[in-house]
Chains A and B, each alone.
Chain A
Amino acid sequence: MLIQRPTDILPSEITSPEIYRGRRDFMRTAGSLALAGSLGLQAADAAAGVKLAGTRPGPYGTSEELTSYKDVTTYNNFYEFGTDKADPAVNAGSLNPRPWTVQVDGLVKRPGQYDIDALLKLASLEDRIYRMRCVEGWSMVIPWVGYPLNELIRRVEPLGSAKYVEFTTLNDRAQMPGLRSPVLDWPYTEGLRLDEAQHPLTLLAVGLYGETLPNQNGAPVRIVVPWKYGFKSAKSIVRIRFVEHRPVSSWEKAAPREYGFYSNVNPEVDHPRWSQARERRIGEFRKRATLMFNGYGEQVARMYTNLDMRRYY
């Protein structure tokens, strides 16, 4: 039964990712045996599942309880696979995350095409446990695997004129059934200021829970910007472009009054239609207070000292 107050959990009682992974392995083995006959089910799962070896613990961790793997992978906003949050887990099997290349271009000295395998080896992979706050008023704690986006940025050497970074999600109707609906202006486009993109918190994520990303979570490579609302973290990206002028993101284009370019988590600036003061952590009953910058103020607040956060929401 889910209706209960969350218990106060000692950090020592929280399942470590290692043990959690062990449990996943057990479940997977048990599941594979049980499902040995039904290959259809396994095909969708095969895209996730690959363990990422040699990851090391990264900084900025939290001792908060992790959101379960099941909730992280079945409650997703990924409109390319449908607008219901249960849709991506059901429909994302048609995405083929390999082979995959990411085009890195625009105002950089060394543009290039990065194969996903090259990206995986570009820098050492870290386990990063981040809070994720959705603009809709719910949140999760997710153990990502990846490395700072800046590892890639410094290799391509942005020119002085590069002020912003634009991310583009795959736009292939054959793989993404949700693209047939004009609910957003495809391809999904997001952007960050260059200093935001270079911030050590900004992650180029390739996995979660120690494994490659499940398709519904943005396989094979995505951005994670933990102090901004979730939609700022573009999934399944195929292009990273360095530009001079501020890009207009898909959600901003769809409803500029509701989804600004910055979209920093801010309990004091409400969404025009609902309050952002509190959030429901998935798995918990009572709502909790939303923290400024999603609790990452110490790391990121200085980037916004000269910014009117009410105007530039």
Chain B
Amino acid sequence: MSGYLMSPRQFSALKTGLFLLCLVPLANLVYGLLSDTLGANPIEALTRGLGDWTLRFLLITLAVTPLRRLSGLNWLLKLRRMLGLFTFFYALLHFASYVWLDQFFDWAAIWKDIVKRPFITVGFASLLLLTPLAATSTNAMIKRLGGRRWQLLHRAVYAIGLFAVLHYWWMVKKDITQPAIYAVLLTLLLGLRVYWMLRRAGAR
């Protein structure tokens, strides 16, 4: 196989480094909360910060395949599972922050939000869709499902990407600059896949 430019030991060090790097945003937010530097509305800042990072990790995960294809660095693929699981991790924390800090376990209000507010509906849908992907991320599960079925299931990530961006877009009051940036990146990442798919279909 091409693209393995490092030894297993180096790769394992890289993976550990990446793991720790993925925890930095969380550490930053927790530090901000404890040192009271998240501004006047720390609960909102924390919830939104966790949401931002969920979306960022989702896009980073979706960038692995195109990056590998374009760069030829096949080992990138071996980092994808960890990045995907971090997406789920931040999504869970984002949801927990909403349920605990924002709504304080007011389940009636939360349920009303989910069914009544489109931006929360799609946000919750992305979390629900992410769950089976996280649950089937182990090698054993891939084996049990079989590669084809596993892959089919994990294509749900495209819908998750769309819902996640909509979740942000519909939430903002007026200035859509930030969600628009995420939308452009998502379009690019999904567009590349469509382009490659069409090219493959044309070549046949």
- For A283, the chain B residues whose CB sits under 8 A away are 40
Give A51-76 as 1s and 0s: 1 = Cβ < 8 Å from B's Cβ atoms. 00000000000000000001100110
Interface of B is mostly: helix
- For A116, the chain B residues whose CB sits under 8 A away are none
- Do the beta carbons of B113 and A275 come within 8 Å of each other? yes
- Do the beta carbons of B40 and A74 come within 8 Å of each other? yes
Given the known interface contacts A273-B118, A275-B109, A275-B112, the answer about A254 and B174 at a Cβ–Cβ threshold of 8 Å is yes
- Do the beta carbons of B175 and A181 come within 8 Å of each other? yes
- For A273, the chain B residues whose CB sits under 8 A away are 117-119, 170-171
- For A136, the chain B residues whose CB sits under 8 A away are 173
- Do the beta carbons of B175 and A282 come within 8 Å of each other? no
Query: What is the chain B residue whose CB lies nearest that of A178?
Result: B175
Query: What is the chain A residue whose CB lies nearest that of B104?
Result: A286
The verdict on A180 contacting chain B, using a C-beta distance below 8 Å, is no
Query: What is the chain A residue whose CB lies nearest that of B170?
Result: A273
- Do the beta carbons of B39 and A75 come within 8 Å of each other? yes
- Do the beta carbons of A83 and B174 come within 8 Å of each other? yes
- Do the beta carbons of A71 and B173 come within 8 Å of each other? no
- Tell me, rounded to whole Å, the shortest Cβ–Cβ distance linking B38 to chain A: 8
- Tell me, rounded to whole Å, the shortest Cβ–Cβ distance linking A249 to chain B: 13
A-B contacts, CB under 8 A, total: 60
- Tell me, rounded to whole Å, the shortest Cβ–Cβ distance linking B102 to chain A: 8
Query: What is the chain A residue whose CB lies nearest that of B34?
Result: A1
The verdict on A3 contacting chain B, using a C-beta distance below 8 Å, is yes
The verdict on A285 contacting chain B, using a C-beta distance below 8 Å, is yes
- Do the beta carbons of B104 and A138 come within 8 Å of each other? no
- Do the beta carbons of A75 and B41 come within 8 Å of each other? yes
Given the known interface contacts A75-B41, A83-B174, A282-B41, the answer about A274 and B117 at a Cβ–Cβ threshold of 8 Å is yes
Query: What is the chain B residue whose CB lies nearest that of A2?
Result: B42
Interface hits, A249-265 → B, CB 8 Å: 254-255
Cα of A274 to Cα of B121 in the assembled complex, Å: 12
- Do the beta carbons of A2 and B36 come within 8 Å of each other? yes
The verdict on A23 contacting chain B, using a C-beta distance below 8 Å, is no
Cα of A138 to Cα of B173 in the assembled complex, Å: 14
- For A275, the chain B residues whose CB sits under 8 A away are 109, 112-113, 117
- Do the beta carbons of A255 and B40 come within 8 Å of each other? no
- Tell me, rounded to whole Å, the shortest Cβ–Cβ distance linking B50 to chain A: 15
The verdict on A280 contacting chain B, using a C-beta distance below 8 Å, is yes
- Do the beta carbons of A3 and B101 come within 8 Å of each other? yes
Cα of A71 to Cα of B45 in the assembled complex, Å: 14
Query: What is the chain B residue whose CB lies nearest that of A73?
Result: B40
Cα of A138 to Cα of B175 in the assembled complex, Å: 19
- Do the beta carbons of B40 and A75 come within 8 Å of each other? yes
Cα of A1 to Cα of B38 in the assembled complex, Å: 11
Query: What is the chain A residue whose CB lies nearest that of B112?
Result: A275
Instruction: From the candidates A2, A138, A183, name the one contacting B174 in the complex (CB within 8 A).
Output: A183
The verdict on A184 contacting chain B, using a C-beta distance below 8 Å, is yes
Query: What is the chain B residue whose CB lies nearest that of A71?
Result: B40
- For B43, the chain A residues whose CB sits under 8 A away are 2, 280, 285
- Do the beta carbons of A86 and B118 come within 8 Å of each other? no
Given contacts A75-B41, A275-B112, A280-B41, 10 further A-B contacts (CB under 8 A): A2-B42, A74-B39, A85-B40, A85-B41, A138-B41, A183-B175, A273-B117, A278-B109, A282-B41, A287-B104
User: Which are the 5 A-B pairs with shortest beta-carbon distances?
Assistant: A75-B40, A83-B175, A71-B40, A282-B40, A183-B175
16 contacts between A and B (CB under 8 A): A1-B33, A1-B36, A3-B33, A3-B101, A74-B40, A85-B41, A181-B175, A183-B174, A274-B113, A274-B117, A275-B117, A280-B44, A282-B41, A285-B43, A285-B101, A285-B104
